[in-house]
Amino acid sequence: MRRALALFTTVPLLLAVLCVGTALAAGHAPKGFNEAAFRTNFASGLASRPNAPALKPENIHVQTAEKAASFGGMDVYVVKGELAPENGLAQPFTLFVSADGKFYVPDIVDLGTGRSILKPARERVRHADLQGFGHTVFHGSGKANVVFVSDPFCPYCREAFAYLMNKGASYADFRLAHFPLSSHIGADIACSIMAWAAENDAEHLADYVRFAYLELPAPHVADRSQPNLDKARAEVADAFLKRFPNLSALGADGDALVQTLQSSPYAQTVAADIARATGLDINGTPIIFVGETRVEGFDAPRLDSLLK
């Protein structure tokens, strides 16, 4: 599985963020949870980390908090919110936190049973977070939905995509969530073009996605100088334009397409996918959800067992 920084991400992953969900009315923490202490302690802890954004307690927004479990006299809450720096994109988080707001609790396992006592709460929030995640590209004839979090230039994503194209009888909907990696120059442009197609050429969206994952050549960049980066992105846009002439609505050539897309709502759609994936502790590709089961990387045997 490829691990790298995703494009558009301005707030780095700073903790093992688990998954995003909903529990109580937004903005209302229960009386048993010390929200003020949590925000103060979280901001203080982040400040000591390299490359951390400048965050004050008021930049940490708590949206929901739900009691998840009790352990040894300590109540543990699942807390959903977002890091909202004054400059940059907000990043969602969900953490399991002690009621006093002092301790991050990644898991508690009962040694007698080998089971996590936080698992039921984690599954509840995962179920909520996966609702509406990704963009429907294909309809299959199976029961479980597949959410494919990926980068079109990631070789493992391409292998997984080709595999999943032969599994249509085993899933209901195939949903694509864009996660272009900074190491793959031009992947952000390819994802923005697919986002454009979803809104403006939905009838042919599947063709755009197949082209991106099965045919589109990844540009070769001698070095990461700005002229070379610009050239590579234009090459990606030109390749799409030759295959789909109606993209000329965005520009006459690759350079023009790139200029249009970089500040477009379609780039914002990709950024929103990245932010939501980051909230699910995703920092590499591919990640494949079959129903609510998460598969890390392209694990064909595991997928075979889930897509029967």
Better-scored residue on pLDDT, 32 or 8? 32
Residue 255: the pLDDT is: 97
pLDDT digits (tens, 9 = 90+) for 74-92: 999 999 888 888 877 778 8
Residue 10 main-chain phi, psi, to 5 deg = -105, -15
Residue 56 main-chain phi, psi, to 5 deg = -105, 165
Q: What percent of the chain has pLDDT over 90?
A: 71
Report the pLDDT averaged over residues 2-25. 39
pLDDT digits (tens, 9 = 90+) for 86-113: 877 778 888 999 999 999 999 999 999 9
Report the pLDDT averaged over residues 18-39. 62
Entry pTM: 0.74
Closest among 127, 161, 156 to 144, alpha carbons compared:
127
pLDDT digits (tens, 9 = 90+) for 137-188: 999 999 999 999 999 999 999 999 999 999 999 999 999 999 999 999 999 9
The Cβ of residue 162 has, within 10 Å, a number of other Cβ atoms equal to 13
Between CA 256 and CA 156, with CA 230 as vertex, the angle to 5 degrees is 105
Q: Given pLDDT bands bounded at 50, 70 and 90, which one contains residue 52?
A: confident
Is residue 1's pLDDT more than 90? no
Closest among 207, 185, 211, 164 to 306, alpha carbons compared:
164
- Write out the two tokens for 169: 């009888």
Residue 129: the pLDDT is: 79
Residue 23: the pLDDT is: 32
* Domain residue extents for the chain: 2-130, 135-287
CATH, domain range 135-287: 3.40.30.10
Residue 9: the pLDDT is: 41
**Lowest mean pLDDT, pick from 8-12, 39-43, 169-173, 251-255:** 8-12
Is residue 14's pLDDT more than 60? no
Q: Given pLDDT bands bounded at 50, 70 and 90, which one contains residue 29?
A: low
Is residue 287's pLDDT more than 90? yes
Q: Average pLDDT over the chain, rounded to whole?
A: 88
- Write out the two tokens for 129: 């977070």
Residue 96 main-chain phi, psi, to 5 deg = -95, 120
